[in-house]
Structure 1
Amino acid sequence: MKKIKILLILLIFPMFLYSCNGKLPGADARKIPYDPKERVKRNLEQGKGFRLDESFGGGNKSGNFEFASSNPLWRASLDTIDFMPLALANYSGGILSTDWYSEDQNQNEAIKITIRFLSNEVRSDALAIKIFHRKCETVNNCALSEQKGKLKAELTKEILKKAAVYSKETEDKNFRPYNSGGTRDSKS
């Protein structure tokens, strides 16, 4: 038992001595560049990290991203409900949600629309639309219900119709016919 204590002391004692000298490797702030770009460059030169853009994109600064403006369902949905204030627009999460909206004549009733995108393809099952209706007798006494009728069907139809037009426009814009040599003509 006494040998174990001595062994532990001999193993722990050097750690105390090392921590007492006050110098940790890389702890001198004067030797670390202030500019983050310079720190990244220095770390990469020393082999202390890697860059994802070089690993996946060949090192160029530009990428090929599919932004919301290129998704016909997203654009059509925004255009269709543009008269309502948006509470949430999360393209990467695939959801649009409006704030409560009421016409000027009746402030006691309001609707809220939530659109979930289940697919990027323009098809009837690509959207999950929910319409909520709020009817208030007083400020603190409101009843909420989900509407499933005519408005939901009309909204779905209008979004799909606009999305089909946007999709066709994009398709026509990107179409380049083949020339007689079997290669595509260059865009002009």
Structure 2
Amino acid sequence: MNIAKKLKSLFLIFLTAIFLSSCGGKLPGADARKYPPNPEERVKKNIEEGRGFRLSNVGKGGNGTFDFASSNELWRASLDTIDFMPLASVNYGGGIIITDWYSTDVNNESIKISIRFLTNEVRSDALDIKVFNRKCEAQFNCVITEKPGNLVSELTSKILKTAAIYEKQKKDKNFKPYITSDAKN
């Protein structure tokens, strides 16, 4: 056996010894005296302590929070506001909507809108909207610039107002008055 192989073997034995000594001499598993013998009771105890899950609870709600496009007021309001424009890319998970170029055939100009969602809350800094202008002299001779002006503020205002209306409708729909025990009697 050459020296490299001997060193490699010694190194592996050394690593194995360190790994085994780090276990503290404790075998994996739990003390059976601390857990009930009935499997149903063990499962119940583990779930109560947060150490397990049941597949029978899948789809019945839970303590995770998930936002979907249909329940996000800003998302719905944005799509409703730009519904006249063709969409090029929509990614709810990434929080971005990009329209395709839209033109009314005036002066060979078209616009493209990009809406990026910075938060799900309906507030003034929740959106990053950019409007791009494309002006073409010929079909392949186009200049694209970010369009200055009040279109961005108008879009932001319209989306936020619509989202606020959707949020109010959602609250009104989900509102259930609190009935005290005195009112029941």
Normalised to the residue count of structure 1, the TM-score between the two structures is 0.65
What one-letter code is carried by the residue in structure 2 that aligns with 1:101?
Y
Q: Which residue of 2 aligns with 1:27?
A: none
Q: Distance in 1 between matches of 2:73 and 2:90?
A: 15
Q: Which residue of 2 aligns with 1:128?
A: 128
Matches within 5 A, 1:19-30: none
Q: Residues 57 and 182 from structure 1, CA distance in 2 versus in 1: closer, same or farther, beyond 3 angstroms?
A: farther
Q: Distance in 1 between matches of 2:132 and 2:182?
A: 55
What is the SS of the residue equivalent to 1:124?
Answer: coil
Q: Which residue of 1 aligns with 2:73?
A: 72
Q: Residues 56 and 98 from structure 1, CA distance in 2 versus in 1: closer, same or farther, beyond 3 angstroms?
A: farther
What is the SS of the residue equivalent to 2:90?
Answer: strand
Q: Which residue of 1 aligns with 2:170?
A: 170
Q: Which runs of 4+ in 1 moved over 6 A?
A: none
Q: Identity percentage over the alignment?
A: 58
Superposition RMSD on alpha carbons, in Å? 2.7
Unaligned runs of 5+ in 1: 9-54
**Shift of residue 182 of structure 1?**
8.2
Matched, 1:181 2:178: no
Q: Distance in 1 between matches of 2:133 and 2:52?
A: 47
Matches within 5 A, 1:140-159: 140-159=140-159
Aligned length: 136
Q: Which residue of 2 aligns with 1:23?
A: none
Q: Residues 182 and 121 from structure 1, CA distance in 2 versus in 1: closer, same or farther, beyond 3 angstroms?
A: farther
1:45-88 deviation digits (Å, cap 9, x = unpaired):
xxxxxxxxxx8864223156321010000000000000000011
1:8-54 deviation digits (Å, cap 9, x = unpaired):
9xxxxxxxxxxxxxxxxxxxxxxxxxxxxxxxxxxxxxxxxxxxxxx
Q: Which residue of 2 aligns with 1:91?
A: 92
Q: Distance in 1 between matches of 2:182 and 2:93?
A: 38
